[in-house]
Structure 1
């Protein structure tokens, strides 16, 4: 598995492929969670749940307004059986390994699920 620094040093367009490689190997994704549930990112075009391949990458986002959040691991079986359906129902996207100040890959939950397999 790559280090977080090596992951962040990849050009943005290469990060999604490395994300899926790491997640398939570890069989889990990470979200940020607080007492109210998972955090969401919003933009003019879409709303979505950010996901990361490691707890430490997710933890990098736990600052300022998300300072009370903690990384939470979700195993792939749970993601595929519950999260994909729930996000689709709620018309939310999946934001793949966002990095501060950069555009991120935004995917429909079904497309994200296909890449996990």
Structure 2
């Protein structure tokens, strides 16, 4: 347990100062899709069920993206793990795009 606490305290210093170009591009893509979803919600034209599905989908994907992004920060020096995580990040962005697009079609 003490080792876990020590690692948690050291984690901010173990992470790279800046994202890699690949993660920066993924972050930008995710942010754009997220803004599209927020715009749909703020316009208020979605049926209640579609708005609820969009909010729920965005919330679940946001949580998964935060976990993936944290893991990416830790894996920047492990190429195989980094590739696997970036592929997962891309899938989450694609999934969010599907959720937003489905809501836009309603």
Q: Which has the larger radius of gyration?
A: 2
* TM-score, normalization by structure 2: 0.24
Structure number having the greater strand percentage: 1
Structure number having the greater helix percentage: 2
Q: Which has the higher contact order (CA 8 A, sep 6+)?
A: 2
